[in-house]
Structure 1
Amino acid sequence: ASLSQDGNQYRVRVYNTEGSLYSDAVNLSVNAALSVPQITNQPAAQTVFENNTATYSVAATGNPAPAYQWEVNTGSGWANISGATSSTYSFTAALADDGNLYRANVSNSEGSVTSDEADLTVTSEPFAPQITTQPASQSVFENTAVSFTVAATGGPAPSYQWVLNTGSGWADISGATESTYTLTATLVENGYQYRVKVYNSEGTVASNTVTLSVQEVVEGNRTGTAIIAPIVRNDPQDTYPTHYSDFGWGGLHQVPTLAHRDAIPNDLRVNGMVVVISGTHESYYLKDGTTNNNWAVYPPKDLVFIMPTSTDSAAPNNFLYYSTDQSALVYKDHSGTTHSLY
């Protein structure tokens, strides 16, 4: 018998010289051979917006007809999905489902087979960019790196284009296509305005306009927490700094103790001079006078200085600073290398 004969009916005619008759008709049922399930159509990866329906399907043959059990892997291994027992599995996707993997186990009495894995990508509904943090205006000394930064949301994720107004209208800045734009400020750029266009397929929004202020570095100028001043060495005995008068007013000086600070001769003191205590890394400056009563704690921030001459171990115009985690004055050259000044 073959499957093509399934359902055929048969009977027999019985006869002799005296006559004939037929038996009752009988049916022939031909069943397919028993077989392990075989998958003929694998499930495919899905990409949907959140709160939309994701559907996975599998097709398989087998005898007896196979049963199905869908499984999910959220990152901790495979687990059965309760109630997902047909050849198609549909559900409402949430953002938390993004990255999950799905597969089907197909089985009958003869065996089982597992489908390929199919991943799920869930994204937010598309929406135009929204700026959550605006860039801020910046004020820096010349030849200093400065950054403008914006933060934004959007679906799809937004792109960025920084634009510049030098006084003749807005123009794109070539290559400035990240959320942060960094440049080295020069005096030419003093007063320049910046803003950023944030855009995606759903729309565009422009940030607030910000301004860059660039201040010229002038020897002896003091602004905020940055001091631009001559640097002098300690004398070999480190008893108190010498040669103040060789460099004009104030400057930065280093002494080993508070007692050494207080012993600096009056004729060498200048209102505004800064003294660093090498033993404790504390900084003081003379405020509104030159007596010991006028010493005030300098703000605990790194100080930035400019070398006025090449008489010390640093080259002219290199940046120098004192840091509270250093044991002595150091300077950093234009390549970023740090050197000891003493």
Structure 2
Amino acid sequence: MKFALVAALAALVLPAAAQLAVTENMSSASTNNALGVTRGPDFWELSNFGGSAMDLTGYKWNDEDGGLAAADSAPFAGVTIAPGESIIFVQTGITPVSSPEQFRAWWGLPATVQVIFYTGNGQAATGDKVILWPPDAVTDNDYLDLAEFGQAEGRSTFTYNPLTGAHGIYSTNGVGNAFTAALSDDVGSPGTNSGPVALAITQNPTNTTGFVGFPVSLFANARGLPRPKFQWLKDGVPVPGAKTATLTITNPIAGDAGNYAVVVTNGLTTLTSAVAVLTINASPVAPVFTVTPRSIEPYTNQTLVLNVAATGNPAPTFQWRKNGTNLVGETGNQLLIPGLQFSDSGAYSVVASNLAGVTNASALVTVTTKPKLVITEVLAGQAPPTTGHMDFWELTNLDDRAVNLRGYRYDDASPSFSATHTIGQNVIIEPGESIVFIEAGPNGNVTNLTASFRAWWGTNLPANLQIIAWTNSGAGLSQGGDAVNFWNAAATDPADTIASVSYASAVVGVSFVYDPENPPVAGIMNRLATNGWNGAWAATQSGDIGSPGYVVAPHVLAATGGVGTLNVSWNSTPGRAYAVDRKPSLLATNWTTVTNLTASGPATTVTLPAAEEQAVYRGRVIIPTP
């Protein structure tokens, strides 16, 4: 390695030309002048930081248009630049400043400052470049120096930063030899400069893994003036043509693996970077998602959290999108949006990509109001004999819209997510519907639980009652007092429950129920079921008292038709609120409320306009939420 590095350094000995640099330029002079013209001409400055004179014959320059092929060599013919000298190159066409003497008079320069005029190649006031090529340049990239600058100020020249060597800062009067011109208020330092800037490596290459057939790059950077030149080494040997700060191997093979470094020089100093190991992997693998985001219905002010995971070689990168538009800065495997509003609803997707391929996954996010779901019954102790009987609790939808419970979670008095049970399938709970959750026991078999539950409570159960079983792994209901906590799929804070109730010591064989006229205060259930009250009955087996599937006694809806009208009747409870809904067919999913009323007696009849076509009607009790 030692001898190879010495050889590399010998190969990097640069000609004296490397000690040249563009140190100043003017692309828009001031209109406040005594030149007898709107503004003075454009110009740029070349400085020699070396210790010997250089013949500039054969050198070429251009602005950012045209490259080497259209570069101009005429201004340099027969010109010699002495050590430490700065020469000014001025654009022709401004009559009052058309000779070296006139230019020096404009700025108040001594006669020793060389001023050379050129034609063409104007510098754009909106931003441009000054590019200098040596006589042996073959391609555009063989330039000796490139000074880039932005929008002109209209009176100050552009010069270089004395700390970094970077070109493009405005000259300031009194800073870095800058002064105000003799015949205008232009500020610059033509004919002089702030001296060289010490060479320094600002970015070392780092260990990198590439893949056969896919481009791979190593990065370095340096600062200084004259501006740094680069030569990459592989295992100590110069890489042909690798003379920029970035080394890119467009089609790597296994033999490109090795130890890489870069030698940096500016004709005055030479430095060598740290060594980086390039590993070439022969087996790139396109991304495959192992975790995908799921569609979700959070409610306002919750926090949206979407997670993904993907395998691939190299490791995939991510980009999240909403409705097809990239979300700025969202490039991790988790998307988090706090304080959700309705406007956050949309189609969210994430793109996973690497060198071998691209894939994507998506989820629909629908921000809603908080659904009115209430825990309306809890039974924590069964009357003997208890064989085939189990703890249960009931969830009722008091909202006017259906809710999909997929992803919802529940637990007992431990208000945390550590041991929750998650509803893993689509479970739709309609407005007014009650669903029963039954416990299977720590090693319970859930296969026959629904049939056992129906046999226990008998034919009074609603025929279409949905029953969901859970295996007790810590969420059993204690007879001595306990709680039920219920969260939606989006909840990130255990305190953010959809519904939560607690109860004191249970009465064996009697469930706690929800009293619509006196809802639980602070979530504490203390109303025990009474046979015959609000639809409660004695179970067929063991005589337990409860009302699973009902919050109030079921009512029978009857309809009779007249000319253009429909009379709808049902058994009612005085003072209780009711609604009648309609939908066009049994297969339709959306109900429309056609009337709301408060019952005045044990039987209620309403007269409605008859539907033009066939329709389906239902009645429901409007139960107040706690």
For normalisation by structure 2, the TM-score amounts to: 0.22
- The structure where strand makes up a greater share of residues is 1
Higher relative contact order (CA closer than 8 Å, sequence separation 6+)? 1
